[in-house]
A and B are shown apart, each in its own frame.
Chain A
Amino acid sequence: MFEVIPEAPVIDRQTIHAALAGDQAAWDALVGRFSGLLWSVVRAHGLSGADAADAVQGTWLRLLESLHTIRDPDRVGSWLFTTARREASLLSRRRRGERLVADPADAESAGPWPAPAGQAHSDPALAVLRADEGRRLWRAVETMREPCRSLLLLAATAPDAGVRQLAGRLGMPSGSYGPTRRRCLNRLRTLLNAQEATP
């Protein structure tokens, strides 16, 4: 359950400069550092493996065309995170109304593009995606009552299960899964905030 996430490569100013200068190894270091995070972010939007791969690919393509405007190594992670979330959200909405659409116009209506880096930087959602925060999150889940404990465990460990399957395994009607999940996540947020208040 609590696997030790291997040490990711450190991304510093030199890495960014090297990537901008055409150093493939530096780019590979970026990919190595952030692939796990981006994958979990887009998959959490309920995307299939193929759609998730597509959203992650788009995120890297956008970084490739924007890296020279970011430069700050501390901001690259938050920029990738924000961009991946946006791609995943566009794609999951698209899934509900299958039609040929090109994305930029939609992206415009969803907000300014590229994402304002300052806003991305202060995003508390990114902080929770660190390894030590993940362990803290799970410790909080373990203190929760049913059905939240089982629901969150299942939501996190059965990535390809649909709502009907998940609801079935929890013994609840399909229609209850979404609202229950929302309540459980609210409860989890409250627990985390309480922990922050009393460290």
Chain B
Amino acid sequence: MTRRPPAIDDESLIAALRLAAGRDPVPAHVPAAARAIFGLRLPGAAVAVPVAVPAPAGVRSGQEGRLLRFTADELTVELEITPVDGLVDLAGQVSPLPCAGTTVEVRTPHLTQAREVSATGQFAVTGLPPGWFSVVCRRPEHSPVVTSWTRIRP
């Protein structure tokens, strides 16, 4: 293990030199994308933060799937992520079992897919582009719960 330098780290010094040199300007699409995501804000939503998922005994860990768990407001959203041909399939489980009329929206910066949650608390979305995504869970008579933005890479 290397020790963290006490003062300014190497990358920040390089960043400062680059910023001042002005030779690597921000491509216009980067701030444009940052401005565009303002439409994704969800005022009043509770942000579900990731919690560690213990690896179940006997289940191989590896490239095939990945389980993520988010919690907020006594609601847990579990997401199993499976890469398929460069895209991502997402299978979700909401618990405790949601009441009728509960819906989810799986959001990326570019598209939103809405799903009704089954009576057993499940939902699925297939063929998502890799990249940033978050899931909004809307329950009748509750504030929405939204999972913290997470990056899935192929």
Which residues of A come within 8 Å of B, CB atoms?
1-3, 5, 19-20, 22, 24, 27-28, 31-32, 35-37, 39-41, 43-45, 49, 52-54, 56-58, 60-62, 64-66, 68, 85, 88, 94, 99-105, 107-108, 113, 124-126, 128-129, 131, 133-135, 137-138, 141, 152, 155-159, 181-182, 185, 188-189, 192-193
Contact code string B85-123 (vs A, CB < 8 Å = 1, else 0): 000100000000000000000000100000000000000
Q: Is the pair B26, A41 in contact by a Cβ cutoff of 8 Å?
A: no
Q: Is the pair B18, A156 in contact by a Cβ cutoff of 8 Å?
A: yes
Q: Given A54-B131, A103-B150, A104-B50, are A39 and B66 also a contact pair (CB < 8 Å)?
A: no
Q: Is the pair A57, B34 in contact by a Cβ cutoff of 8 Å?
A: yes
Q: Is the pair A100, B19 in contact by a Cβ cutoff of 8 Å?
A: no
A133: nearest residue on chain B (CB-CB)? B16
Decide if B29 is an interface residue (CB 8 Å cutoff).
yes
Give 8 A-B contacts (CB < 8 Å), ordered by A residue: A36-B26, A65-B134, A65-B146, A100-B66, A102-B150, A105-B53, A128-B8, A134-B19
| Most chain B Cβ neighbours within 10 Å, of A61, A94, A135 | A61
Q: Within 8 Å CB of A54, what residues of B?
A: 131-132, 151
Contact code string B41-76 (vs A, CB < 8 Å = 1, else 0): 111000101101100000000010010101000000
Q: Within 8 Å CB of B49, what residues of A?
A: 104, 113
Decide if B142 is an interface residue (CB 8 Å cutoff).
no
| Most chain B Cβ neighbours within 10 Å, of A20, A102, A133, A193 | A102
Q: Is the pair A2, B13 in contact by a Cβ cutoff of 8 Å?
A: no
Decide if B24 is an interface residue (CB 8 Å cutoff).
yes
* SS class, residues of chain A in contact with chain B: helix
* Bound complex: CA A135 to CA B107 (Å): 42
Q: Is the pair A129, B16 in contact by a Cβ cutoff of 8 Å?
A: yes
B22: nearest residue on chain A (CB-CB)? A3
Q: Within 8 Å CB of B10, what residues of A?
A: 181-182, 185
Give the B interface residue count (CB, 8 A): 57
* Bound complex: CA A18 to CA B38 (Å): 12
Decide if B1 is an interface residue (CB 8 Å cutoff).
no
Q: Within 8 Å CB of A185, what residues of B?
A: 10, 13-14
Q: Within 8 Å CB of A129, what residues of B?
A: 12, 15-16, 19
Q: Is the pair B19, A61 in contact by a Cβ cutoff of 8 Å?
A: no
* Bound complex: CA A97 to CA B70 (Å): 25
Q: Of A5, A24, A133, which one neighbours B38 at CB under 8 angstroms? A: A24
* Bound complex: CA A103 to CA B130 (Å): 12
Q: Within 8 Å CB of A152, what residues of B?
A: 17
**Minimum C-beta distance from B147 to chain A (A):** 9
Q: Within 8 Å CB of B68, what residues of A?
A: 102, 104-105
Q: Within 8 Å CB of A62, what residues of B?
A: 148-149
Q: Is the pair B12, A125 in contact by a Cβ cutoff of 8 Å?
A: yes
Q: Given A56-B30, A105-B68, are A100 and B83 also a contact pair (CB < 8 Å)?
A: yes
Q: Of B9, B20, B53, which one neighbours A2 at CB under 8 angstroms? A: B20
Q: Given A58-B151, A129-B15, are A43 and B24 also a contact pair (CB < 8 Å)?
A: yes
A68: nearest residue on chain B (CB-CB)? B43
Q: Of B20, B29, B150, which one neighbours A104 at CB under 8 angstroms? A: B150
